[in-house]
Amino acid sequence: MGVLVDTWSLGKAYATTVTTVEPRPDLAELDRPALEAALEARGHKRFHARQIFRWIYKHGVTEIDAMTDLSRELRATLTSDFALTRPTLAQRETSVDGTEKFLLRLADGRHIESVFIPDTPAMTFCVSTQVGCAMACAFCLTGKMGLVRNLTAGEIVGQVRVLADALNLRTKKFNIVLMGMGEPLHNYDETMRALRMLADEHGFDMSARRITLSTVGLLPALERLATEDVMPNLAISLHAPTDLQRGELVPINKKYGVRDIIDACKRFPLSRRSRITFEYVLLAGANDSPQDARKLAKLVGGVKCKVNLIPLNAAPGIPFERPSDEVIDRFAKIVADSGVTVSVRKSRGRDIRAACGQLIVEGQKPSAGQQLAVVAFGG
């Protein structure tokens, strides 16, 4: 593609053609049907997509030439026509409890954080879906970044590729929670494409039962999720039993209220053994009273669910404190005595700021376009 520009030399104008090169498609950004179509368009057999998927996801190769069951001719063509990328590991920290936090650099220089939580009882990867977050929850550091940009499907799956290799877990079973930086349903299309890539039988072959998606409850997207073939476990970030309280903690509640979310959860299709998880961050003096516990139990009582209580992981910049253990236990007992299954999440990685609500990468600002997108979205 040529672009005509004017240049000046010794006071005379010349027309110069500058050639711009279109970026090569990235194999890591293509789900298998898209890869099959891309290969077929270039005169190659569709079945090679299965081989390529196995090399990238089952074997973890990062170079096309390492795909040794492809012919040399095909490998040369792929190298010429496609890129193969993944996020770069920039920093790795280990907590005293074994939790590990990974700082990953993306191709454009942006950074995200991912977390590995061992012994939970399965190994768990906590991955991000956005750089920053538009939801601005009052108790979450990630929200203070604002939304910098959405991640692509390849960048979401790329975190799993990096962690699986760094932890020597590529051939082991592990769980994935979309609870890192960002709101998964605010980046719906790329998140769902990433889940399809993770579930592909020729790739990681992840069972949807091993994947949990956490959302504040964006209702139109939640209703779309209910129709998907790949159906992850669903966790709703509730955090308060009334609109007045939740509106102060989760700004999007002004658009999608508590009762609307509960009604949507009642309609959400669940398998016989599945339940929706309601996540509830306990904040001292804000949502942790016995009255709050009784209201919560009544609110969720008609949903096939469990409540996961998350004592606040306090950090500089979060204007709340963690309740005492006595208050946490009292709240849990009230909810449990009402007949609702309840658990209290054990905080992991607090000493390296890897716990729930503590992920933040300083110095990354939203672009003007992203700021406008957030305003239009209503976040």
Q: Do 140 and 169 have their domain in common?
A: yes
C-alpha–C-alpha distance, residues 374 and 7, integer Å: 40
Is the domain of 58 the same as that of 131? Answer: no
Q: DSSP character for 32?
A: H
Q: Which of 29, 113, 190, 279 is catalytic?
A: 113
Write down which residue in 81, 108, 127 finishes a domain.
81
Cα gap 102→86, rounded to integer Å: 14
Q: Are residues 310 and 365 in the same domain?
A: yes
Q: Are residues 45 and 107 in the same domain?
A: no
Give the count of beta carbons closer than 10 Å to the beta carbon of residue 42. Answer: 12
Q: How many CB atoms lie under 10 A from the CB of residue 72?
A: 9
Give 211-226 as a DSSP string.
Answer: EEEEES--HHHHHHHT
**Per-residue pLDDT, 73:** 94
Assess whether 225 and 373 both reside in one domain: yes
Place of tokens 């910098």: 148
Of the three residues 29, 51, 81, the one that is the final residue of a domain is: 81
Strands in the chain per DSSP E: 2-9, 12-19, 88-94, 100-105, 111-117, 123-126, 130-132, 147-150, 174-178, 211-215, 233-237, 276-282, 305-311, 341-344
Q: Which residue among the candidates 137, 265, 305, 356 is catalytic per the annotation? A: 356
Q: Do both 70 and 99 map to the same domain?
A: no
Q: Quick one: 177 and 320 in the same domain?
A: yes
pTM over 0.85: yes
Residues 70 and 198 in one domain: no
Q: Which of 46, 81, 116 corresponds to the end of one domain?
A: 81
- 66 and 116 part of one domain: no
Question: Is 356 a residue of the active site?
Answer: yes
Distance of CA 295 to the CA centre of its chain: 30
Residues 227, 306: one domain?
yes
Show the domain range for 31.
2-81
Q: Looking at residue 354, what is its pLDDT?
A: 55
Kindly list the distances between the CA atom of residue 20 and the CA atoms of 2, 17, 23, 248, in Å, as whole numbers in the listed order.
6, 10, 9, 49
Output the domain CATH number for residue 312. Answer: 3.20.20.70
Among 45, 200, 174, 177, which Cα is nearest to 121's? 174
Q: What is the CATH number of the domain that holds 40?
A: 1.10.150.530
Per-residue pLDDT of the chain in tens (379 residues, 90 and over written 9) = 445 444 444 445 555 555 555 688 999 999 999 999 999 999 999 999 999 999 999 999 999 999 999 999 999 999 999 999 999 999 999 999 899 999 999 999 999 999 999 976 689 999 999 999 999 999 998 888 899 999 999 999 999 999 999 999 998 999 999 999 999 999 999 999 999 999 999 999 999 999 999 999 999 999 999 999 999 999 999 999 999 999 999 999 999 999 999 999 999 999 877 999 999 999 999 999 999 999 999 999 999 999 999 999 888 888 999 999 999 999 999 999 999 999 998 877 667 665 566 566 766 766 554 444 443 444 3
Same domain, 54 and 138: no
Query: What total of structural domains would you count in the chain?
Result: 2
Are 140 and 52 members of one domain?
no
